[in-house]
Amino acid sequence: MSCAVPYTSITMSFAGFVKQINKANQFMNEMIGGVQGTKFSEDFVEMERKIDLYYELTVEVVEKTKKFLHPNSKSLTKMFRAKSVNSQPVGVLGECMVRYGKQLGEDGMYARALVETGETMKLICNIKSHLDDNMKISFLDPMFKFSQINFKEVMHHRKKLKGRRLDYDCKKR
């Protein structure tokens, strides 16, 4: 009884081994010997290309979406300095979606949805960039100037007041 199972597995593994040898032999004949391999149809090649694009798209969109949802503080600092669509996570994600949507061909619903979503993300990026600029010009810059000018003056007067108080206390004693 125990002899039948090992014999079967040995025969199966030997058959698999022979199959691998035959495949390696065919590969070498195609590479070195110039033997022509079976050609695939145009539809199959196009489907294969689209599957590769879907894979690249999925990997890149997931990566860029993670950056969009949880941006790195160092990249945010660079983003505020650069002020371009290419540096903001929303814009990068949008450009990625548009690029892959166009590569997939805009005849499919998924590709059209990618392009439309990407264009919307780029529009959001532009609006956010304008909001950031407006916030900087109308709020941050005046607050910074106020803090620099007025607080320097206040600190100067505090220092003077401290000196005068000390002088007053000295004369009072």
pLDDT above 70 for 25: yes
> Mean per-residue pLDDT for 60-80?
69
Residue 95 neighbours by CB under 8 Å, 6+ apart: 85, 86, 118, 122
pLDDT above 70 for 44: yes
> Mean per-residue pLDDT for 137-160?
80
What is residue 5's predicted lDDT score, i.e. its pLDDT? 52
What is residue 98's predicted lDDT score, i.e. its pLDDT? 93
**How big is the chain, counted in residues?**
173
CA gap 107, 113 in Å, rounded:
11
CA gap 90, 102 in Å, rounded:
18
pLDDT tens by residue, 88-122 = 888 899 999 999 999 988 788 999 999 999 999 99
DSSP states of 15-45: HHHHHHHHHHHHHHHHHTS-PPPPPPPHHHH
CA gap 116, 151 in Å, rounded:
49
Reported pTM: 0.56
pLDDT above 80 for 18: yes
What separation in angstroms does the CA of 73 have from each of 28, 77, 89, 128, 144? 52, 6, 12, 17, 22
What separation in angstroms does the CA of 12 have from each of 20, 21, 68? 12, 14, 51
The two structure tokens encoding residue 44: 């199959």
pLDDT above 60 for 4: no
